[in-house]
Amino acid sequence: MHLARFPRIRLAHLPTPLEPLPRLSQALGVDLWIKRDDCTGLAGGGNKTRKLEFLLGEAWEQDCDTLVTQGAVQSNHVRQTVAAAVANGMACEVILEERTGSKAVDYTENGNVLMDRLFGAVIRRVPGGSDMPAELERTAEEIQARGGRPYIIPGGGSNAVGALGYVDCAREIVVQADDLDLKIDRIVTATGSAGTHAGLVAGLAVMGADIPVLGIGVRAPKEKQEANVLKLARETAALLGHPDRIRDDMVVADCDYVGEGYGLIDGAVIEALKLAARTDGIVLDPVYTGKAMKGLIALAQKGQFHGETVVFLHTGGAQGLFGYQGELEGTL
């Protein structure tokens, strides 16, 4: 696994810490550690920064001058992509899908949206359920017609090139665990656009590390989510030259904690946010890590992690909290 073969632009503060969560561990009865990918640095940090290192590397190699991407209104991926673009002298045009249907001003204008505007993104909004790949192609064609050289980044940066960022993270976790004499029994992460989950699975498989990854779904049903992750994990492993390393049983997603839908929060998510904050001072986000922690808490209470050492991958996104002020009002 020689990642230097792939073009890369360094954006992240790496390695991110791997730390124990002593008070949350005590509360849940699990030996719980946290991989702090909320600390990657770019635009406040988050998991997309790792993916963008390889995606921007390919964009530069192709002599592109404009990044084009998409996400939900409060997209952490869009925030980090716009920041990566401006930091490297590139333009960035984004399409924000009104996926949750919320018209609240804090959701539509604050949080990540405020940061997108601060970084100077060209923003276009489309209704929920729009054909987002088609919207990306349309925007790229408009840029080309103006003489620009667009590079399309899929939602979440989740293709095989982007997933290389989490192949690298898998390597980083194993190195840190070995340095700490820490035997990891399981990694738990939010799983949405599939790139983080697939990259971890591919990286661990290619290394032969044999650490299972549990994805807590934030959007799609289990069958669809596992199929998306498995497909991308195989594509990523093929890019690394080892397409045969991925088995079906390596991809596990628990999608019982999505709630009413993507980006919609409930009381259990709010309680997970509060528990992480009030035990070990960890700030989670309502959309991804909050739901992943909701699932982890519920599974721990059922005894699923009994006797295990579990690493929770914090994918960032606290900036999105400010888009949910109205829903959090009176709950804290």
Angstrom distance (rounded) from CA 64 to CA 131 = 24
Out of 75, 102, 158, 193, pick the active-site residue.
Answer: 75
Phi, psi of 79 (to 5 degrees): -55, -50
Angstrom distance (rounded) from CA 272 to CA 321 = 13
| Residue 25 bears catalytic tag | no
Query: Which positions ≥6 away from 123 have C-beta within 8 Å?
Result: 93, 94, 95, 96, 113, 116, 117
Angstrom distance (rounded) from CA 158 to CA 196 = 8
Question: Tokens at residue 316, please?
Answer: 């960032």
The amino acid sitting at 123 is I
> In the block, which residue shows the tokens 């960035």?
92
Angstrom distance (rounded) from CA 312 to CA 287 = 16
Instruction: Using alpha carbons, list the distances in angstroms from residue 49 to 102, 134, 157, 158.
Output: 27, 24, 9, 12
Angstrom distance (rounded) from CA 77 to CA 80 = 5
> In the block, which residue shows the tokens 């904690």?
257
Catalytic residue ranges: 75
